[in-house]
Amino acid sequence: MRHHATKPAATAFLFAIAANHAFAIDVVFIPTGPVPPGAAAVLTDAEIYLEGLLPDPITIQINVSFFDGAGAVANPTTVVFDYPTFRAALIADMDADDWIHNFLPHAAVPSLVPPAGATAQVHQVSVPAALARAVGLPAPILAGAISVGDDLDTDLTDGIGIPMLDAVVHEVGHLLGFAAYSIDVPGHAGRQSPLDLFRFPANDGVNDANPDTPLEFSSRPRTLTNNSPAGGHVIDVGSADLPMHTGTPTQASHLVIVDFQTTGVMAAIFQGRTFSPTFFRTNDLAILDAIGWDLADACAPADLSPPFGTLDFLDVLVFIASFEGANPRIDRAEPFGVIDFSDVLAFLTTFADGCP
Ligand SMILES: [Zn+2]
């Protein structure tokens, strides 16, 4: 089918460049006030790490201040969008391994809202500016500010204290979209965050609250209620339920530690250890990928099986098994919600196009 491809050579060339990350994010830290010894080098290391990780071709600026003490905080710039606007941008920006986004609710988001966890329809999303830009929506170039304690340890190697580099990457993670505004931050009540579009009760309870199928993912209410239900919260990225903190006692914008290979720097506590050189790990990356960052392992929608970055017979085998099992992962063509011949055609087309 390759001779039917009409993709212009220039477009293919641009895709090839993008795949090499030549069009990567540009992170600009803007320190304000006095910078403690060693901190400038830490910011440079954080910039190199983030620019090597995120291929989204945008620039973000981050104000950095230092305070006398330990710990760190992030204060994102946020932009409010109508939910359908954000949903459309997220779907238009889907990368090669994204699929669950097609099953996000359409016009409004059923949500369990405080104080009693009643179901309400939520119509707006508070979006961190950096993530809004990543999915092509208008937003300020200033992603926000982080404040970094000057007691944090600029030496990664001694195993003492909290490494400043881990803390900086963690706080930038909040600016990138690890943000549960309705639960953690006053002033955002009644709005979703991109993260919370994927947040469900961990357990089914009496209402079958945790989605088992893509259609349940469409219709089951997201939870925006601090520390409720009692069984905890998960972020459902389609392929897995990732355990999250619930707001009390730990902010809901953090992953619960599964183990230190699976859960990286977006866990709440990392005293005395560094995640260097891979700060974001499996679950952190799965969430960044889901909320709109271009972090696919796959090179194309047809790249269904490892080794990723190449289309081969293993991808065909996975497609056949997925077709027989009606796995929504291969539901890439309308009508969505049913695996049919249009999905076979979509697979064959992207397989024939090859990796960019
Ligand atoms: Zn945090």
Tens of pLDDT, residue by residue over 286-305, are 999 999 999 987 888 888 88
Average pLDDT, the chain: 88
Ligand 1 centroid to residue 253 C-alpha, Å: 7
Give the pLDDT score at 1: 30
Give the pLDDT score at 23: 65
Residue pLDDT, tens place only, 158-192 = 777 889 999 999 999 999 999 999 898 877 888 99
| Helix (H) and strand (E) counts in the chain | 10, 12
Ligand 1 centroid to residue 212 C-alpha, Å: 29
More confident call, 114 vs 18: 114
Residue range 1-19: mean pLDDT, rounded: 36
Give the pLDDT score at 237: 94
The H or E element spanning position 298 is none
| Strand residue runs (E) in the chain | 26-32, 59-67, 72-76, 78-82, 109-113, 118-122, 124-128, 142-149, 199-201, 222-223, 233-236, 241-244
Residue pLDDT, tens place only, 74-106 = 999 999 999 999 999 999 999 888 999 999 999
Compute, in degrees rounded to 10, the torsion defined by CA atoms 325, 328, 330, 333: 130
Ligand 1 centroid to residue 95 C-alpha, Å: 26
CB 263 within 8 A of CB 255: yes
CB 243 within 8 A of CB 234: yes
Ligand 1 centroid to residue 137 C-alpha, Å: 25
More confident call, 135 vs 261: 135
Give the pLDDT score at 17: 36
Give the pLDDT score at 60: 97
Residue range 209-232: mean pLDDT, rounded: 94
Ligand 1 centroid to residue 139 C-alpha, Å: 23
| Range 87-119 burial, b when 16+ CB lie within 10 A, else e | bebbeebbbbbbbbbbbbbeeebebbbbeebee
Percent of the chain as helix, strand, coil, to the nearest 5: 35, 20, 50
Give the pLDDT score at 8: 37
Tell me which of 152-166, 215-229, 250-264 is least confident.
152-166
- Residue linked to tokens 């932009």: 79
What's the whole-model pTM score?
0.86
Ligand 1 centroid to residue 140 C-alpha, Å: 22
Ligand 1 centroid to residue 74 C-alpha, Å: 8
Residue range 55-59: mean pLDDT, rounded: 93
Residue range 308-315: mean pLDDT, rounded: 87
More confident call, 330 vs 291: 291
Give the pLDDT score at 3: 35
Give the pLDDT score at 59: 96
